[in-house]
Amino acid sequence: MIKAERQQLIISHISKDQKVLLGDLSTLLNVSEDTVRRDIKELSDQGLLKAVRGGAILNSPIPLHFRDREHYDVSHKKIIAEKALDFIKDGQVVLFDAGTSALAVATHLPKERRITVITNSFPVASVLEDHPNAEVIFIGGRLNKTAFSTFGHEVVQTLNNIRPDICFLGICSIDINLGVTGKDYEDAQVKRKMVENAKQVIALSTLEKMGTAEHYHICGIEAIDIIITDADPQHEELARFTEIGIKMV
């Protein structure tokens, strides 16, 4: 079997099972683990999967630019947003990151809810500008034109002085072993500080992002208190998260 055929089979296998192991692929393809490891590295360098110890897992399926993400999987984000509203109480200080799932929560925030919203997301600030009872604190900094958010030293320094009740963390990729990861280095730095300072971290993730990984580490899985998904909490794909003590909603 030539290399191109092997690599196509690896991609097909990981697309179906979300992950692949070196030993399994070695047997399946009838080649050495070293050959499989080289194939996985090439595919990882091309951005087609994420090489990890002992094998590989899927990259996140979501697009990078905000304009593309804004219209991606809208109905599932609405499900997540409606579930998330149950955790927002009057008087809370709530931190919204720049993810489109967090934006969906802000968009559906009831008009009677009295909270303080802190965000580095221009779209979140925009949808709440006419909200009658939500005080909005916008974190200034350098403009990330891909994410429509602010980033940099000023943002991190501001977050150092904030202890929000809740952080709504939009997820790009989340994995039991690799934790939460993202596609953008600067965005990952901001999200990491948000997680560190929040009393409760609620991750917002569609099912397809579970068991995937990207290049930039945000936090370990143990930093997440609750994961809200578009799926039934009893879904078999979510059992591994429940087993380590994370509440699934």
214: pLDDT confidence band, cut at 50, 70 and 90?
Answer: confident
Query: Under 8 Å CB-to-CB from 98, ≥6 apart: which residues?
Result: 66, 119, 120, 121, 123, 124, 144, 147, 148, 149, 170, 187, 190
Q: What is the pLDDT of residues 12-60, one digit of tens each?
A: 777 677 677 888 888 888 888 888 888 888 888 777 777 877 888 776 6
Token pair listed for 96: 């919204």
Looking at per-residue confidence, does 231 or 62 come out higher?
231
User: What is the pairing mode between strands 216-219 and 200-204?
Assistant: unpaired
97 & 218 share domain = yes
- Give the pLDDT band of residue 132 (cuts 50, 70, 90): very high
CB-based contact 49:58 (threshold 8 Å): yes
Helix count and strand count (H, E) for the chain: 10, 15
Q: Are residues 50 and 103 in the same domain?
A: no
- Asked if residue 74 and residue 51 are part of one domain, the reply reads no
Dist CA 83 CA 144 (whole Å) = 29
Stretch 57-71: mean pLDDT: 61
Same domain, 122 and 48: no
Mean pLDDT of 159-171: 96
What are the tens digits of pLDDT across the range 229-244? 999 988 988 999 999 9
How do residues 87-103 score in pLDDT, each as one tens digit? 999 999 999 999 999 99
Same-domain pairing of 24 and 128: no
pLDDT at position 72 is 58
> How confident is the model over 186-208, as pLDDT tens digits?
999 999 999 999 999 999 999 88
CATH number assigned to the domain comprising residue 114 = 3.40.50.1360
pLDDT higher than threshold 60 for residue 65:
no
- My answer on whether 212 and 129 are in the same domain is yes
**pLDDT value of position 106:** 97
The CATH number that applies at residue 36 is 1.10.10
Range(s) of the domain holding residue 41? 3-57
- Bigger pLDDT: 43 or 163? 163
CA atoms of 28 and 34, how far apart (whole Å):
14
pLDDT on residue 241:
93
Residue 210, pLDDT above cutoff 60: yes
Q: Are residues 234 and 147 in the same domain?
A: yes
Query: Of 192, 204, 198, which is closest to residue 229 (Cα–Cα)?
Result: 204
Residue 78 shares a structural domain with residue 151: yes
Q: What is the C-alpha separation between 72 and 60, in angstroms, rounded?
A: 13
Residues 158 and 239 in one domain: yes
246 pLDDT higher than 60: yes
Residue-averaged pLDDT of the chain: 89
Cβ atoms 128, 100 nearer than 8 A: no
User: What is the predicted pLDDT for the residue at 244?
Assistant: 93
